[in-house]
A and B are shown apart, each in its own frame.
Chain A
């Protein structure tokens, strides 16, 4: 199921940026709110999408993962088998989680922590408010399953948190097997 968001203003093609890895300080820093309408925010949105697009297996990216302290993330879970509700490829500015229920446990990995995975409990029903870049109208996204998990992972990044901060217990951090 695809719930379409209002049409994005046409973003110019962004620049691919390097994805930072822990323990980079930017990943442990809370990002600041930005003007969704500003040229900088629109350019940042384009860079996030361009960087996500060239990163294999990447379904989301937060601004501080490319070194920008701004409450902006991009997401696209449309190709993921565990996605149920899906809003396609989008960027959200100044996101605020309003409802988060039905926690489920799953093992996560992150481009910024490439050598580990961890078991994390996250809400499987989510409502989140924010702005699309280049607009002044707030949008409300209601989602579930994998898209809900991915959004919470990205919002955590904006709060300076990694999945490592949320692993459920001491046995829930795993070396990532790179044989695949």
Chain B
């Protein structure tokens, strides 16, 4: 249910109990609607992105000002109308893992971009020396998957990691 302009709020900083309740409380008080949001801890840092409609972004930013002194960095950004992804395509999951070194993510996502693919979800994690990437990728319907797999494999070898690409598997019930 969308009403009016959308804006993105990002909240990054020290994790502590109550951040989500505080931020959503402020938004609700000002009549804003929380639409999609995604929050996780990245190496222990709180990282949250929210899409909000209704209310006034300037007012919200002003109101969230009071939370900043708790070590949180908060920004409010107006969003243009979301572009429509009208293209037909097939969804794949790309998994990458190997020893950490610079350039892994760029090397592999470049192959996807060159294939006309779009990354719609991405998680990367580093633990010790192990680097892991999982991405959900939409490839155009007429993509030659064998070619993409070969190009991914070459790019992965060059940066010393392994890569797999498999179709997203959904059971419709």
Complex CA–CA separation, A163 to B170 (angstroms): 13
B171 interface hit (Cβ, 8 Å) = yes
Interface hit among B11-19, B74-82, B83-91: B83-91
Q: Is there contact, CB below 8 Å, between A107 and B168?
A: yes
A57 and B172 form a contact (CB under 8 A) = yes
Q: Is A71 at the interface (CB under 8 A from chain B)?
A: no
Q: Are A59 and B173 in contact (CB under 8 A)?
A: yes
A153 to B141, CA, bound (A): 30
Partner-contacting stretch, out of A13-21, A27-35, A123-131, A172-180: A172-180
Does A60 contact B173, Cβ atoms closer than 8 Å? Answer: yes
Size class of the A contact interface (CB-based, 8 Å): 20 to 34
The interface bits of chain A over 75-118 (1 if a CB of B lies within 8 angstroms of the residue's CB, else 0) are 00000001000000000000000000000001111110000010
Nearest A-chain residue to B86, judged by Cβ: A179
In contact, A108 and B173 (Cβ under 8 angstroms):
yes
A153 to B90, CA, bound (A): 25
* Interface pair A177/B173, CB less than 8 Å apart: no
State the Cβ distance, B135 to closest chain A Cβ, in Å.
13
Name the A residues within 8 Å of B40 (CB-CB). Answer: 171
Say yes or no for B120: interface residue by CB 8 A criterion.
yes
B24 → chain A closest CB, angstroms: 16
Q: Is B142 an interface residue (CB 8 A)?
A: no
- State in angstroms the CA–CA spacing of A177 and B121 once bound together: 11
The size of the chain B interface, using a CB distance under 8 A, is 19
Nearest chain B residue, comparing its CB with the CB of A60: B173
Partner of B170, one of A108, A149, A150: A108
Say yes or no: B169 contacts A107, CB within 8 Å.
Answer: yes
Give the docked Cα–Cα distance between A107 and B167 (Å).
12
Given A179-B87, A179-B90, A109 contacting B138 (CB threshold 8 A): no
Using CB atoms, name the residue of chain B closest to A154.
B173
Alpha-carbon gap, A117 to B168, bound state (A) = 11
Residue from the set A108, A109, A179 with the largest chain B CB neighbour count within 10 Å: A179
Chain B residue with the shortest CB-CB distance to A152: B173
Specify which chain A residues have a CB less than 8 angstroms from the CB of B88 in the assembled complex.
179-180
Closest Cβ of chain A to B158, distance in Å, is 29
CB distance from B36 to the nearest CB of A (A): 8
A172 to B171, CA, bound (A): 14
In the complex, chain A residues whose CB is within 8 Å of the CB of B136: 174, 177
Q: Is B66 an interface residue (CB 8 A)?
A: no
Q: Which residues of B contact A (CB under 8 A)?
A: 40, 85, 87-91, 120-121, 123, 136, 138, 141, 168-173
Closest 10 CB pairs of A and B: A179-B89, A153-B173, A109-B172, A177-B91, A57-B172, A107-B170, A117-B170, A108-B171, A109-B170, A150-B173
19 inter-chain pairs at a CB distance below 8 angstroms, sorted by A residue, are A58-B172, A60-B173, A106-B169, A108-B170, A109-B173, A110-B173, A146-B171, A150-B171, A150-B173, A171-B123, A176-B170, A177-B120, A177-B138, A179-B85, A179-B87, A179-B88, A179-B90, A179-B138, A180-B88
